[in-house]
Amino acid sequence: MDQVEQTRSEALQALQAASSLEALENVRVATLGKKGSLTGLLKQLGALPVEQRKEFGAKVNVVKAELEQAIEARKTSLQGAELDRKLAEERIDVTLPARPLRQGFIHPISQTIDEIVAIFGDMGFVWADGPDIEDDWHNFTALNIPPEHPARQMHDTFYLPPREDGTPMLLRTHTSPVQVRSMVSQKPPIRIIVPGRTFRMDSDVTHTPMFHQVEGLVIDEATHMGHLKGCLQEFAKAYFEVSELPIRFRPSYFPFTEPSAEVDIGCSWSNGELKIGAGDSWLEILGCGMVHPKVLEYCGVDPTKYQGFAFGMGIERIAMLKYGIPDLRTFFESDLRWLRHYGFAALDVPSLTGGLSR
Ligand code: DAH
C-alpha cells in the first residue's frame, strides 16, 4: 500500500472511531491540520521529480477532499446523536406541579382605608378629600387655632414657602382641614369620611414624618353627642369584628370641638398578647367632639341653626392593633418580604356598598 493510501485508511478508521465532537476535531487536526499526516505528504511534493509531482499531487488532493467530506458527514451524525441524547435526558416532566405566579398584595394601609370607608359608607358617609399641601387658614385658623395658639406648637409643622400673595403654606398636619373645605363648599346636611396622608416633623420608633389619618364630619340640624357615640360604637365593633366591644369617652381638649373627648375601646392582655373586646384594660383609638360654633362660623355655617360632630383617627395605629403589626416604621420601608407577610390579596377588599358614592 502506498503512503497516500495508508494515510487515507488510517484517517478513515480514526474518523469512525471518534465518538464525540471533540474526538472528531482531534482527528481533523491530526490529518488535515498544519502538522497533519496528509498535510505532511503535500509538503513532500517539492522534493519529488517533476514527472511524479503531478500524479502524486492529484492523488493527495482527491484524498484530502474525500476526508474533508467524511469529517463533515461524521460531524453531522455526531451532532444528531448529541441532540437525541439531550432530548431523552432533558425531557420536560409535564406532571410536575406548576410554579405559582407571584401575585401583588394590597398594602395594609390601603386595606384599612378600604375597610373604614366601607363601614362608614354603610352608615351613609360620603368619601371626601383635600390637598396634602394646605394653607395656614384651612389647617389652623378656620379650625379655631389662631396664630400664637399653643396647639400650633403640638403639630411640628413642615412649613413651605408662602404663595406669591403672602399666604402661608404647609404640609397638612391633620385631615381636619377637609372639614373646613367641605363646609365652605357645600350646604348641610354633610356626612363625610376623609382618609388621607398627613405630615409632621417627627421621627422616632412611634412617629414617621408622613402618616395617615381618617376624619369624619356630620353637620345637620339635629345631630347630637349620642349620635357620635353610637356611630363610633358601631364602627369599632364592625372594624375590630368583635360583637361586644365597650367604648369609653374621656373628656379632652381640641380647639375645633366643644365638648371634646378621647375614645378608648375595651381590651385585655394575657402573656403580653393583646385581645380587643370587653376586658380589664382600655386602649385609646381616636379624638372627637361636637364641632365648635366658631369653626361653623369660620366656614359660613350658621351655628344657631346647625350643629354636628367630628372625629379623627390614626390609620396606622388601628391597622397595627387589628393586624398585630408591631413596628410603625415598617409600613413605609417597602420591604417586599414584609408586604408579602402583612399584605392582602386583592380579593380581600370589602365591597363598597351602602351609602358610599364615589
Ligand atoms: N385633628 C386631630 C389631630 O390630629 C384629631 C381630631 C380630634 C380630629 C378631634 C377631629 C376631632 O375631627 O374632632 O390630632
Establish if 334 belongs to a structural domain.
Answer: yes
Q: Does the Cβ of 254 fall within 6 Å of ligand 1?
A: yes
> 131 with 175, same domain?
yes
- Checking if the pLDDT of 248 tops 90, the result is yes
Q: Both 158 and 37 in a single domain? A: no
Rounded Cα gap, residues 134 and 248, in angstroms? 33
Note the residue count of the chain.
358
On whether residue 333 sits in a domain, the answer given is yes
CA 183 remoteness from chain centre: 35
Residues 113 and 17 in one domain: no
User: Among 9-18, 164-173, 300-309, which stretch is predicted with the lowest mean pLDDT?
Assistant: 9-18
- Does one domain contain both 199 and 302? yes
Degrees (nearest 5) of the Cα angle 177, 181, 184? 135
pLDDT score recorded for residue 150: 82
pLDDT higher at 100 or 258:
258
Q: Are 127 and 170 in contact (CB under 8 A)?
A: no
- Nearest CA owner, ligand 1 atom 6: 312
Residue 311 and residue 166 share a domain: yes
Residue 271 lies in a domain: yes
In sequence order, which residues have a C-beta less than 8 Å from that of residue 351 and are 6 or more positions away?
Answer: 118
Q: What is the pLDDT of residues 25-74, one digit of tens each?
A: 999 999 988 998 888 888 888 888 888 888 888 888 898 898 899 899 99
Is there a single domain that holds both residue 118 and residue 81? no
The strand ranges marked E within the chain are 126-127, 133-135, 159-160, 169-171, 190-199, 210-220, 247-254, 257-270, 273-276, 281-291, 307-314
Please give the number of the atom of ligand 1 that sits closest to the Cα of 213. 4
Residue 97 included in any domain: no
pLDDT for 357: 33
**Is residue 331 over pLDDT 60?**
yes
Dihedral of alpha carbons 203, 207, 210, 216, sign: negative
* Residue finishing a domain among 90, 122, 155: 90
- Segments forming the whole domain that contains residue 35: 2-90
Give the pairing of strands 247-254 and 257-270. antiparallel
Asked if residue 340 and residue 231 are part of one domain, the reply reads: yes
* The ligand 1 atom nearest the CA atom of 179: 12
The protein residue with its alpha carbon nearest to ligand 1, atom 14, reads 174
Whether residue 279 sits in one domain with residue 150: yes
311 touches ligand 1 (CB under 6 Å): yes
The reported pLDDT for the residue numbered 354 is: 37
Are residues 227 and 128 part of one domain? yes
Residue 103 placed within a domain: no
By alpha-carbon position, which residue is closest to atom 4 of ligand 1? 174
Domain count for the chain: 2
Contact, 101 vs 43, CB < 8 A? no
Q: Specify the range with the lowest mean pLDDT, choosing from 150-159, 198-207, 344-353.
A: 344-353
Q: Is position 26 within any domain? A: yes
* DSSP assigned state of 100: P
Q: Which of 29, 57, 90 is the last residue of a domain?
A: 90
- Say whether both 81 and 188 belong to one domain: no
Domain boundary among 59, 90, 121: 90
The pLDDT, as a whole number, for residue 300 is 98
> Does one domain contain both 12 and 155?
no
Q: What is the pLDDT of residue 352?
A: 47
Domain membership flag for residue 204: yes
331 and 205 share one domain? yes
44, 66 contact by CB (below 8 A) = no
Does residue 102 lie within any of the structural domains? no
Evaluate: CB of 314 within 6 angstroms of ligand 1.
Answer: no
Q: What is the pLDDT of residues 263-292, one digit of tens each?
A: 999 999 999 889 999 999 999 999 999 999
- pTM for the structure as a whole: 0.72
**Sign of the four-CA dihedral 235, 239, 240, 244:** positive
Residue 178 in contact with residue 194, Cβ under 8 Å? yes
Domain with residue 80: its CATH number is 1.20.58
114-123 mean pLDDT = 96
- Domain of 159, CATH number, reads 3.30.930.10
Residue 295 Cα to ligand 1 midpoint, Å, equals 13
Gap from CA of 226 to ligand 1 centroid (Å) = 18
